[in-house]
Amino acid sequence: AVDRTEQAVEDGCGVLDELLRPCDRRNWRRDPRCRNPLDQQHGCRRGEYMLDAADTPGGYKHCEACVLGHYQPERSVNGSCLACPAGRYSNVMGATRCHPCAPGTATSTWGGSQGATSCSACPPGQMPTPGNAACMDCPANTFKHGTACASCPAGTRSKPKSTSSQDCTVAPEVIAESALLVLLWVLLVLGLPRACGRSVPIHDVHLEGDYMVVSTCLPHRVLKRPWGPVKVRLHDTHHSSLDGCVFEAKYKTSMSLKLISKDGGLPVRHAEASQGYLAVCRPYSAFSMGKRCFPIGLVVAFAVALSVFLLVSIVAKGAHRMRELLLIMAGLAMLIGGFDVSQWRRSFNDAPLTQRCKAFQERLRAEHPHPRACPRGPDRAVSIGQIWELYDFFQDFVRDRNMYYVASNLLRPLTKEAQLSYAEVVGPRKVRWFV
């Protein structure tokens, strides 16, 4: 009986020893004090941690389930569970593993030793960091798109923490380069025709001292100090000594040139006209025409080189995909170019002699509205009064010039529309005396 009592006391002391004395955590797999009373296996089950007797209100060691935000993947005698790492969470007691955050969410409440119990969606303008550890602002030139940040379209910029593509605006440098490119294209549209020697209407060709002088209705743009010889061609003057001939010219005023000699060094014959057009011959026009001391050819070459540079820059930025902007730029340049061409063509009709002829034709229509052909003979003549009326109306053009000038510069334009003789246009008269 004594032996049985001693054995019972020894067994009881062993049980108390297992419950009350601390577990040897370094050798817990062999220490009987590290057995779990619930399953008699060493260590606590997965998802649990061990409390020693001194750490419990009842004064005995036992296993507790891992709290929220913590986990224990295997049996152990650890005094605490592992905190879920950043980007993972645990929302159940006794977790054996942590779950990864869903795309677009992050463990914003994670605090190192305090594991996260949930993941929350990143606010507008932010995205998760790599590993979903936290939320960070969308960088500059991006915007929030879905659960991530997307780059702004080519050629646009945005501030950090942008929430939508509406926050992406055209980059200032793209605006500046585009505006400069428009100006260059306008310069090219305006400059190329002039560099190619665009015609200007002639106001008058007359003798002045020892030189023939041609004055124009618009500035001829020939430089005072050209970078080469000035070669001009006159056409539609209806004078055989002028039409189609190439002359060497010299600057006189902004709207007049001296005709020095014809091609081959021949002197200029006395010839007068108040109609037609003057054009500086190519390629002389590129280096003899311009503004102040700059040849138009040099300006055009600079504009072409700078345009190429800007186009390369815009393509490098990806802004060439902005088709609307490029179409607007090209359309604006073409619109200005078209307006310039229309003004240039309008200047042909604004020549003083042309305007004077139109005014005289209106007078003739009022006096003789239905001119018609009549047979040649004494019934198709003009009176002295009709001749005087013509001279009086055009005397500032006729001056002391001969009938060759009158026939080609006045009578031809006045009768061109009706295709009749001047007598038929003004109203024929019957001859009384013939000299």
3-class secondary structure, 52: coil
pLDDT tens per residue, range 173-203 = 877 887 888 888 888 888 888 888 888 999 9
The residue assigned the tokens 């650890």 is 78
CA distance 155 to 110: 39
Q: What is the pLDDT of residue 86?
A: 86
Contact 197, 279 (CB under 8 A): yes
Q: What is the pLDDT of residue 24?
A: 73
CA distance 118 to 95: 13
Under-70 pLDDT residues of the chain: 1-22, 52-61, 108-112, 264-268, 318-326, 433-435
pLDDT tens per residue, range 41-60 = 888 889 998 886 665 654 45
Q: What is the pLDDT of residue 429?
A: 86
CA 294 to chain centroid, in Å, comes to 28
Ramachandran area for residue 59 (φ above 0: left; ψ -120 to 50: alpha; else beta): left
Q: What is the pLDDT of residue 322?
A: 59
Output the six-digit token pair for 322: 């902005």
pLDDT tens per residue, range 14-39 = 555 555 566 777 788 777 778 777 77
CA distance 379 to 434: 12
Q: What is the pLDDT of residue 3?
A: 60
Mind spelling out the 3-state secondary structure of 129-163?
A: CCCCCCEEECCCCEEEECCEEEECCCCEECCCCCC
